[in-house]
Amino acid sequence: MKKKFNKKYIKNLVYLLILPIFGAIYLALVSNNIVTEQTWKNIFSSNEISESKYENEENGSVIGDMAVHFLDVGDADCSYIKCGEVNILIDAADKEPKGKVVNYLKNQGVEKLDLVVATHPHRDHIGQMSEVLDNFEVSQFIEPEIPEEANAVTVTYERMLETLANKNISANLVSAGFSADIGDLKIEVLGPISQDSENLNNNSVVLRITYKNVRFLFMGDAEKAEEQEILSKNYDIKSDILKVGHHGSTTSTTQKFLHEVSPKYAVVSVSKDKHRARKPYVMDRLKKFCGDDIYVTGECGNVIASTDGEKINFTKAA
């Protein structure tokens, strides 16, 4: 009678034979400085960023006349830009935490917004937009044109449109090619190029803001399709700071697009839990360009990127 081998016994035997081999390889690589212990750790935890990195930013200072505040609003988006007397808001978070955007702006001494951008009509980008429009004077408001068949009308979007009408604020529907100079800032809209009735993310307003020699690229929730369209136009999209598209999701930040942007710094607006649960593909791609200069709002809270038009400094906001 043939003797049957226990599968668990064979599996354990294989582990016992293989582990010493891997151990020997690891020791050889480390002893010859081919890899370090930290590199080995990063292979298994490349989505995590050292807490000490964020602690180091606490003692930093805001430099120059331009500061971009990336708010910690969970799995949503909100960026406030201050340059001299100019105030700009890009998106307005989700409905919760209620009042966060208005309170933050008031704490910064904002009374008037020279430009407000709603990158697209999803709730996690316009959740508190009505409250913003109600509380501040708004000089200019821009959003993308949405195809009628896209069925973009939600309660949140309707409230925003009603508030715009009640406050007599005209919404400028923009697409690639729109540009404006506001104070010392140059605003360029790089997308959307075409309309996508099936995926509103690919109707996101993508804009680059330039202050002297420093460029910020804000991607909204633009996914691969919109990135490819922007690349097809051969626009100059090179930027120093990248506000990463779609909260760092794998739907966006393709290798080819990232290569053309070639950022030195990146900011991801996403909650800590969702960030740590994701596969690290996007973070791995970002690290090739930015190294450790990647800021995840769910990990570090509100963060400010300031510049004098040459140097760039990141600090944690209160």
Confidence at residue 24, expressed as pLDDT on a 0 to 100 scale: 58
Q: How many domains does the chain have?
A: 2
Task: Please answer whether residues 118 and 112 qualify as being in contact, where contact means their C-beta atoms are separated by less than 8 angstroms.
Answer: no
Same domain, 107 and 12: no
Residue 127 falls within a domain, yes or no? Answer: yes
The yes-or-no verdict on residue 309 having pLDDT over 60 is yes
Question: How far is the C-alpha of 118 from the C-alpha of 127, rounded, in Å?
Answer: 10
Asked whether the beta carbons of 80 and 88 are under 8 A apart, the reply is yes
Residues 25 and 89 in one domain: no
Q: What is the pLDDT of residues 105-114, one digit of tens each?
A: 999 999 999 9
Q: Supply the range of the domain harboring residue 209.
A: 50-316
Name the pTM for this structure. 0.83
Q: Which of 127, 129, 132, 117 lies closest to 191, judged by CA?
A: 117
The continuous run of DSSP H or E covering 21 comes out as: helix 7-31
Query: For residue range 20-63, what is the model confidence (pLDDT) as tens digits?
Result: 665 555 555 445 544 444 443 443 344 555 444 444 455 468 99
Mean pLDDT of 218-235: 98
Q: Is residue 2 part of a domain?
A: no
**Does a structural domain hold residue 1?**
no
Provide the token pair at 110: 């904002």
| Alpha-carbon separation of residue 26 from 20, 30, 37, 41, 181 (angstroms) | 10, 6, 9, 12, 55
Do the strands 66-70 and 79-83 form a parallel or antiparallel pair, or are they unpaired? antiparallel
Which percentage of the chain shows pLDDT scores above 90?
74
Report which of residues 244 and 18 the model is more confident about: 244
Mark whether 155 and 278 lie in a shared domain: yes
The residue assigned the tokens 């910690």 is 72
CATH assignment of the domain containing 212: 3.60.15.10
64 and 163, same domain (yes or no): yes
Q: Do residue 20 and residue 117 come from a single domain?
A: no
Residues 132-146: tens digit of each pLDDT: 999 999 999 999 998
Give the Cα separation of 146 and 159 in Å (integer). 16
pLDDT digits (tens, 9 = 90+) for 160-185: 999 999 999 999 999 999 999 999 99
Does one domain contain both 244 and 108? yes
